[in-house]
Amino acid sequence: MILPRFYPIFDSADWIARALPLGVKLVQLRVKDRDPADDIRRARDLCRDAGAILVVNDHWRLALDLGCDWVHLGQEDLDVADLDAIRAGGLRLGLSTHDEAELERALACRPDYIALGPVWPTILKKMKWERQGTEKLTAWKVRIGDIPLIAIGGLTPDRAREAFAAGADVASAVTDITLNPDPEARMREWLAV
């Protein structure tokens, strides 16, 4: 499977509405601080209209109920997710990884992509993992073969080039866009990479 190379992550459908007209074709909705149902519905419709892929973070039951196509789960989410229901419902699955044990667990789940992070230090959230580095991207890509590899954590357009050179198939960004004084211009930079 070939995914678009730029993968922004946003906490609202409003951000997605800003990104899609610029040509973003792969986006994640990561709602943590409120009921996500309305945002998921709106983001689903916006992405379908734009021919873009929406990945719903964590909320796999809602993703199934609302007819979404993709879900992303962290390792903690795997403890409570019903992978059989996710697969039976036709959802494609992306998984986060940070270390060897998590990679083994992810591979056992037969995911549609694997994310590795943080490749560089990140300010998005407090993490127990240190910088993974591009060397780990190279090692992960050798291990996972044809499964798309997502680089996340501290990425910028320049760092995305390094991540691609190291073996990542896709580069993901959050705060590099959302904290930028001109998010649309920054997304255009990303799309150019």
* 30 classed as catalytic: yes
Catalytic residue among 5, 12, 30, 186: 30
Catalytic residue among 34, 87, 110, 125: 125
* 125 classed as catalytic: yes
DSSP string, the chain: ----SEEEEESSHHHHHHHGGGT--EEEE---SS--HHHHHHHHHHHHHHT-EEEEES-HHHHHHTT-SEEEE-HHHHTT--HHHHHHTT-EEEEEE-SHHHHHHHHHT--SEEEE--SS--SSS--SS----HHHHHHHHHHHTTS-EEE-SS--HHHHHHHHHHT-SEEEESHHHHTSSSHHHHHHHHHH-
Catalytic residue among 96, 159, 172, 186: 96
Query: Where in the sequence numbering do the catalytic residues fall?
Result: 30, 96, 125
